[in-house]
Amino acid sequence: MELEHRFTVPVPVAEAWDVLLDVERIAPCMPGATVDSFDGETIAGKVKVKVGPIQVTYAGTARFSEKDEAGRRAVIEANAKEARGSGTAAATITAVLTDSGGGSTDVIVTTDLAITGKPAQFGRGVMAEVGNKLLGRFADCLADELTGGTPAPAAEPVAAAAPASSATGADEDARAAPAAGSGNENPAAAVADATTGTPAPVARPAPAPTPIGSRRPPEDDAIDLLDAAGGPIAKRVLPWAVGLVVLFVLWRLVRRANR
C-alpha cells in the first residue's frame, strides 16, 4: 500500500530540510509512539494504536536510510513487530522537498507499507482514509514544525502555530511531548503548550506538565492513536508509518473478526 501526502510550508527549502532531518524535533509528530532509545541514528520504540475496541502495539526501529541533500530527498526505513503477536510491519517513507518559489517549500511524503504474518491472511484491505487521516495529522504537525522553524523572535512563531494546530487535534498531543532533553537550542523549537497557547520557556524547555491523555481534543478520539502511558516524559518516535500499518491491519482484522 502506498500513501501520499503533500503540503506546502512557507519556509525556504534549506530550512525545511534542516527541520526534516532533526529527528528529535519531528518525532513528536507521530501520535501514539514512545521512544525507548535513540543512538543518534536509529530510534527504537513502540507505537500503540487503539481504534475502538482494538489495541495493537508494534515495537521496532526507524532510521534514515538516505539523506540526499542535493536532491532534498530523505528516506526513512521503519521495521516493527507486533509486541503481542508474530506479525511484522515495514514502512519506507520518502520525503521530497522542492522549492515552490517565494520562499515556500513543497513537501511530498510517500509511504510504502508492507506487512507480514497474521495480517497477510486477511488480504490487502486498505482503509486509505484512516491512513490518510493519520498521515494528514502527521503532515499538519510537520508543517507546523517547519513553519515554526523560521528564524524569528523566540516563541512567536510557535504561538502563531498553536491555534492553527488546534484544528487537527493530535498534533497538539504530539506537541505536548516536551522538547526537553532534545538539546535543541533553536529558540523556535521551544514547543508551546498547544492547549493553552502559552509559549514554553525558551532557554530551558520544560516538560509538559499535564498528562497527555487529559488534554486530548475531541477529534483525537476519532483515531485514538495516543497512549497516555506514553506520558509527557517520553519522547515521541519517528516511525509514524508503523501506525499506518497497524491501522490497516486492524481494519482488516476487525472486519473479519466481526462476524
Partner 1 sequence: MIPAQFDYVRAGSVDEAVAALAEHGDDAKVLAGGQSLIPLLRLRLSYPEVIVDVGRVDEMRGVRDDGGDIVIGAMTTHYDVLHDPLVREHAGLIVDATTTVADPAVRHRGTFGGALSHADPAGDLPAVAVALEAQMVIAGPGGRRTVAATDFFVDYLQTAVGPDEVLVEVRVPKHTGWGHHYEKFHRVAQSWAIVGVAAVVRRDNGSIGEARVGLTNMGATPVRAVAVEQALAGAAPDAAAAAAEHAADGTNAPNDLNGKADYREHLARVLTRRAVAAAAGGS
Q: Which residues bind partner 1 (CB under 8 A)?
A: 51-56, 84-85, 118, 123-130, 221-224, 250-251, 253-259
Q: Which is nearer to partner 1, 101 or 258 (CB)?
A: 258
Q: Which is nearer to partner 1, 39 or 214 (CB)?
A: 214
Classify residue 30 by its DSSP letter.
Answer: S
Distance CA(32)–CA(184), nearest Å, equals 22
Residue 196 C-beta: closest distance to partner 1, Å:
25
Q: Which is nearer to partner 1, 167 or 206 (CB)?
A: 167
Contact between 25 and 19 (Cβ < 8 Å): yes
Residue 23 C-beta: closest distance to partner 1, Å:
30
Residue 259 C-beta: closest distance to partner 1, Å:
4
Residue 31 C-beta: closest distance to partner 1, Å:
14
Q: Which is nearer to partner 1, 6 or 124 (CB)?
A: 124
Q: Which is nearer to partner 1, 128 or 167 (CB)?
A: 128
Distance CA(195)–CA(159), nearest Å, equals 11
Q: Kindly give, in sequence order, each residue whose CB lies less than 8 Å from that of residue 8, ignoring residues fewer than 6 positions away.
A: 100, 104, 105, 106, 107
Residue 88 C-beta: closest distance to partner 1, Å:
16
Residue 163 C-beta: closest distance to partner 1, Å:
24
Q: Which is nearer to partner 1, 130 or 146 (CB)?
A: 130
Distance CA(194)–CA(189), nearest Å, equals 13
- Please report how the helices 128-148 and 156-165 are oriented relative to each other, as an axis angle in degrees rounded to 10: 160
Q: Across the strands, what pairs with 107?
A: 7, 97
In 3D, which of 210, 219, 234 has the Cα closest to residue 27? 234
Q: Which is nearer to partner 1, 144 or 220 (CB)?
A: 220
Residue 19 C-beta: closest distance to partner 1, Å:
30
- The side-by-side arrangement of strands in the sheet containing 2-9 is 2-9, 104-116, 88-101, 73-82, 54-68, 42-51, 33-38
Q: What end-to-end distance do the CA atoms of the chain give, in Å?
A: 25
Q: Kindly give, in sequence order, each residue whose CB lies less than 8 Å from that of residue 135, ignoring residues fewer than 6 positions away.
A: 3, 5, 109, 111, 240, 244
Give how far the C-alpha of residue 3 lies from the chain's centroid of Cα atoms, to the nearest Å.
15
